[in-house]
Amino acid sequence: MNEHIARRRFLKIAGIGAGSVGAAAFTQSVAGTVGRAAPQVADHLMDVPRQVNAEEMDQQHEAVVNTFLDNAGKDPNFWRPPLEFTMDGDVKVFELVCQEVQWETSPGTVFPAMAYNGLVPGPEIRITEGDQVRINVRNEMTQSTTVHWHGVVVPNNMDGVGYVNQPPIKPGETFAYEFTARNAGSHMYHSHHNAAEQVSSGLLGAFIIEPADKSREPEVTAEYTLILNDTTIGFTINGKSFPYTQPIVANKGDRIRIRYMNEGFMIHPFHLHGIPQLVFAKDGYHLPAPYLCDTLNIAPGERYDVLVDCTEPGLWAFHCHILTHAESRGGMFGMVTVLVVNE
Ligand SMILES: [Cu+2]
């Protein structure tokens, strides 16, 4: 890319704000082919025939990047706003509804999916250590489900494994999960009934418990949660595949926090170009010795918290480094986004 084009692209998304909050209820527009089967890696590798010439291949790669730039800032739910709650005495009450939906991951690619409150992943639930919570889970799907609070210390009968801790929540039923938040950190919630199908189809979300003592938290300009998923609806970050992922937009001098969560079946080594990542917590627990890296391997079920000091201006690719999760002959796809550092 020559300098002129690079500058134009940089300006195109410079100035887009950090993760939007307070967005209204999300309505997923279904523009493409409904019910398309999950694309295999081989399909992606072959989506540009081998006989195309270099110019045609390059045009397709450029078009995908341009779609990403054009879509920047246009998905207010990509960085999930925290779920609203009501108070019942001292208890914070959240409502989750499980539904079968059609979910578009990238332009024209729509999958049959499962959603909490219409979103894949579900809404972020964010509370504080010591909070008493009740989460009412209503099942409007055609199969039973449960919810497991992954990483969260809960009473045994609230752990959400079908027939181990509770009978499954049958279609049409509601189950109330109640507990007090005891361990701060970056946690998750997901189905634990027919979970291989239900979690990979979208029944997953971030469950963040902020520490009661805020002095334990690093000071940051902004924070972003990247939930990784694979298999049933393809390689996704927060339910979207490149070019429908969103960039992280920061200013030079900012310090940002990224919470990684892997809800997929595969390991995803996340590589940030240009700037190292300081890993300071694993599975919600602070590390005794934080460490720097440029590629962080995230296994299924794991969460990592990292800090990025945005010292280097420009557009920095940020992607899974298993390259079949990120790029094909047709251009970048799947687990790819960009960190934009404005001068
Ligand atoms: Cu990957």
What is the CA(269)–ligand 1 centre distance, in A? Answer: 6
pLDDT, mean of residues 188-198:
98
Q: What is the pLDDT of residue 52?
A: 80
Q: What is the pLDDT of residue 222?
A: 97
Rounded distance between C-alpha atoms, residue 199 and residue 46, angstroms:
28
What is the CA(265)–ligand 1 centre distance, in A? Answer: 10
What share of the chain in percent tops pLDDT 90?
Answer: 83
User: Would you say residue 28 has pLDDT above 70?
Assistant: no
pLDDT, mean of residues 166-176:
98
What is the CA(326)–ligand 1 centre distance, in A? Answer: 7
Q: Which tens digits make up the pLDDT trace of 120-161?
A: 999 999 999 999 999 999 999 999 999 999 999 999 999 999
Report which of residues 26 and 68 the model is more confident about. Answer: 68
What is the CA(296)–ligand 1 centre distance, in A? Answer: 11
Beta-bridge partners for 91: 88, 132
Q: How confident is the model at residue 34 (pLDDT cuts 50, 70, 90)?
A: very low
What is the CA(217)–ligand 1 centre distance, in A? Answer: 29
What is the CA(238)–ligand 1 centre distance, in A? Answer: 13
For residues 340 and 10, the answer to whether their CB atoms sit within 8 Å is yes
What is the CA(40)–ligand 1 centre distance, in A? Answer: 14
What is the CA(325)–ligand 1 centre distance, in A? Answer: 5
Core vs surface per residue 143-164: b (16+ CB within 10 A) or e: bbbbbbbbbbebeeebbbebee
What is the CA(268)–ligand 1 centre distance, in A? Answer: 4
What is the CA(20)–ligand 1 centre distance, in A? Answer: 26
For residues 86 and 30, the answer to whether their CB atoms sit within 8 Å is no
| Centroid of chain to Cα 74 | 16
Q: What is the pLDDT of residue 216?
A: 79
What is the CA(319)–ligand 1 centre distance, in A? Answer: 8
What share of the chain in percent tops pLDDT 70?
Answer: 85
What is the CA(270)–ligand 1 centre distance, in A? Answer: 7
What is the CA(42)–ligand 1 centre distance, in A? Answer: 15
Q: Considering the chain, what is the average pLDDT of its residues?
A: 89
Quickly count: other Cβ atoms within 10 Å of residue 25's Cβ: 8
What is the CA(56)–ligand 1 centre distance, in A? Answer: 27
What is the CA(322)–ligand 1 centre distance, in A? Answer: 5
Q: What is the pLDDT of residue 137?
A: 98
What is the CA(299)–ligand 1 centre distance, in A? Answer: 10
DSSP string, 48-73: S-TT--HHHHHHHHHHHHHHHHHHTT
Q: What is the pLDDT of residue 142?
A: 98
What is the CA(173)–ligand 1 centre distance, in A? Answer: 36
What is the CA(6)–ligand 1 centre distance, in A? Answer: 27
What is the CA(272)–ligand 1 centre distance, in A? Answer: 13
Residues 6 or more apart whose CB falls under 8 angstroms from that of 58 comprise: none
My answer on whether omega of the bond before 167 falls inside 30° of 0, hence cis, is no
Q: How confident is the model at residue 36 (pLDDT cuts 50, 70, 90)?
A: very low
Q: Which tens digits make up the pLDDT trace of 85-127?
A: 999 999 999 999 999 999 999 999 999 999 999 999 999 999 9
For residues 87 and 75, the answer to whether their CB atoms sit within 8 Å is no
What is the CA(245)–ligand 1 centre distance, in A? Answer: 15
pLDDT, mean of residues 226-230:
97
User: Would you say residue 233 has pLDDT above 50?
Assistant: yes
Q: What is the pLDDT of residue 42?
A: 44
Q: ∠ CA 129-127-233 to the nearest 5 degrees?
A: 125
Q: Strand pairing of 314-320 and 336-342? A: antiparallel
Q: Which tens digits make up the pLDDT trace of 70-84?
A: 999 999 999 999 999
User: Would you say residue 2 has pLDDT above 60?
Assistant: no
pLDDT, mean of residues 14-19:
48
